[in-house]
Amino acid sequence: MVEVRDRIRESFQRLAAAELAGLYSLARRLARDGAEDLVQETLLHAYRSFGTLRQASAAGPWLKRILVNVFRDQLRRQARSVEELPVDRVEDFSLYQILVEEDPLPYSDTLHHDFLQAFGREDVREILLRLPVIYRAPLVLRYMEGFATKEIAHMLEVPLGTVLARLHRGRKRFERELWAYAQETGLLLKGTVR
C-alpha cells in the first residue's frame, strides 16, 4: 500500500515538474501578484485529484484547468467584481488603422509586423494586466494557451455567449492598450525592435 502511494507521488512529482514553467507563466498572466502561491495551490488541488487524470500526456492542460479554477475561486473570495463593465468606445478602435494613419515607424516596409515585434513578453504581460480580469482571462486562455471557447466557458463557469462577447471586447481593449503602452513608454522611440 505504501509502495503504491509512493509510486503515485513520484509519478505526480515527475508530471508536475515538467509543467512548472507553463503553470507559472499562466499564473503570471492571470494575476499581477501571487503567481507562485497560485501555482502551489494548484499543485495541492491537483495532487488531491490526481486520480482523475486519465492520460499523462494530458497533464499540462489538466493542471492549467485546475489553476484557472483556483484563480477563479480566489477572485470570488476576494469579492472582486465580475460584473460586465459598461460598454465604452473600444468597439470603434482599430489598431491596424491607427498604425496606417500615425505611421510610427516611417522607415519600416512592414509597419504592422515591426510594431508588434517591439513588444517583449514582459511588455505584453503588463498590457494584459491592465485589462479587467473578465477580459484578460479569456484572452490568455484562448490565444496564449489555445483552449477552445467552449472549454473556457466551462472553466470560467459562464455561458459560451459571454465568453465570445468578452473575447471580442478583450481583443479590442488589448489592441487599444498596445497602442497606449507604446506611446506611454516610448517603446517605438527606443529603436528596440526585437
Partner 1 sequence: MTETQGPIVCSEAVQQLWDYLDNAISPEDHQRVAAHLSFCRQCCGELEFAKELIRFLASRGVDEIPRDVKTRLEDFVKEF
Residues in the site for partner 1, rule: CB under 8 A?
9, 12-13, 16-17, 20-22, 24-25, 28-29, 36, 39-40, 43, 47, 91, 94-97, 100, 112-113, 116, 119-121, 124-125, 139-140, 142-146, 149, 164, 167-168, 171, 175
Q: Please, what is the minimum distance in Å from the beta carbon of residue 69 to partner 1?
A: 19
Q: Please, what is the minimum distance in Å from the beta carbon of residue 22 to partner 1?
A: 6
Cα(100)–Cα(105) distance, integer angstroms: 10
Q: Please, what is the minimum distance in Å from the beta carbon of residue 191 to partner 1?
A: 19
Q: Please, what is the minimum distance in Å from the beta carbon of residue 81 to partner 1?
A: 25
Question: b/e map of 138-155 (b: 16 or more CB within 10 Å)?
Answer: bbbbbeebebeeebbbeb
**CB-count exposure of residue 59 (10 Å: 0-12, 13-18, 19+):** buried
Comparison of 81 and 97: residue with beta carbon closer to partner 1: 97
